[in-house]
Amino acid sequence: MGKLNIVGLGYIGLPTGLMFAANGIEVVGTDLNKKLVDTLNDRKLTFEEKGLPELFEKALAGGIEFSDSLIKTDRYIITVPTPYIKENKKIEAKYVIAAVSQVFDICEKGAVVVIESTVSPGTIDKFVRPIAEEKGLAIGKDVHLAHAPERIIPGNMVFELENNSRTIGADSQEIAEEIRTWYKSFCKGDIVLTDIKTAEMSKVVENTFRDINIAFANELAKICDREGMNVYELIGIANKHPRVNILQPGPGVGGHCISVDPWFLVGDYPDIVNIILAARHVNDAMPDYVIQRMGEIMRENGINDISEVGLYGLTYKENVDDLRESPTLQMLERFDKYFVKGINIFDPMVRDNRVDGQTQDFDEFIKKSKFIVVLVGHNHLKENEERFKNKIILDTRNIFEAGEKVYKL
């Protein structure tokens, strides 16, 4: 086999390529963003992630290369973005289509093309197979298609790449087995083989299940707030049951997986999908609910000046620098609707100012903010809990003990 060409060097493609290269496979990572490629060739990472610097060094020692052009080889893994179209809730497949088309133009005969990007069920049938046919390539002879959806989460990518189970969907058992040998170079988890459409569905279903579970927790939070109960205590009690595992409520659902993938099913099956759609509406409405709670707490405590309010956390989850679909950013979009200006914003993981009101000075943030809304539970926050003493707090992540000045969702 020739070198492995990883197409797309974002949050999924880069760690995946590094993992292969660190475990004895010759890898070329390709991305059309020349600035990103130049940064990697300068031996600098493009985002922060636990364990990634060490993995980067191992991959460099293993000879990984970075390029803004594809290479001619017989094996590819495509990890480009797959957003959804907000108007009709269907997958935006243009990045996958473009990547596959370029691969088909250059690949060796018999090449294996694996799509890791999360896609809606049937995407490869609808959008990828026709490209091969248009280019006169016989699938199963000139090219082989497969889907091996990624299963990693920012903040724990390196560990999960090595330890999570994986799914490989392919047209033939022989090709699926070959791809399994690639991933077995580092993956300690089970690698399940199936057909392509089942593999496509499996990833979307996993994230949709979690979205529905979070929506249930968020509705419980609203019920408990109305009835004067502690939702976290309630969930803790319920989860003592051996067949119950309710997730935690929060200010919304962010990231590029849980907040996006369920929409694929809504868009493709609008006449069938009801619970999934309802869960999406519940979770998408949580930033509005947090704003409502903020207003109630401000009125209760006589706070009229928005410059005395601080938002802690911009990223979509703790201990990452990833802002994709961040609930805080969703809140700030709502603020614009209400012409709210002058609020204080701090996030230790976001090194440059991305929004109005953001500061890099934690001391300044603490000094200015009489009322703080905790939106992300970074380790930095837990290490500095004493600095929040005597502040009025709306704790959407259940970091602080409930008290006179600490409000929950």
pLDDT band at 383 (very low <50, low <70, confident <90, very high): very high
Whether residue 23 has pLDDT greater than 90? yes
Q: How far apart are the first and last CA of the chain?
A: 54
In three-state secondary structure terms, 65 is strand
| 396, 401, 406, 409 alpha-carbon torsion, rounded to 10° | 30
| Domains of the chain listed by start with CATH number | 4-200 (3.40.50.720), 209-408 (3.40.50.720)
The pLDDT of residue 393:
98
Tell me how far apart the alpha carbons of residues 229 and 240 are, in angstroms, rounded to a whole number. Answer: 18
pLDDT tens digits, 165-180:
999 999 999 999 999 9
Residue range 36-49: mean pLDDT, rounded? 96
Catalytic residues, by residue number, are 203, 257
Burial grade of 244 (CB within 10 A; 0-12, 13-18, 19 or more): exposed
pLDDT score of 394: 97
Tokens found for residue 176: 């699926």
Task: Give the pLDDT score at 154.
Answer: 86
* pLDDT per position as a tens digit, 193-251: 999 999 999 999 999 999 999 999 999 999 999 999 999 999 999 999 999 999 999 99
pLDDT number for residue 145: 98
Above 80 in pLDDT, residue 338?
no
CA 139 and chain centroid, separation: 32
Phi, psi for residue 233 in degrees, rounded to 5: -65, -45
Please determine, for residue 386, whether its predicted confidence score (pLDDT) is greater than 80: yes
Q: Please tell me the predicted confidence (pLDDT) of residue 47.
A: 92
The mean pLDDT of 338-365, rounded to a whole number, is: 93
Per-residue pLDDT tens digits for 97-156: 999 999 999 999 999 999 999 999 999 999 999 999 999 999 999 999 999 999 888 889
Distance in angstroms (rounded) separating the CA atoms of residues 324 and 287: 15
CA separation for the pair 70, 232 (Å, rounded): 50
Would you say residue 41 has pLDDT above 90? yes
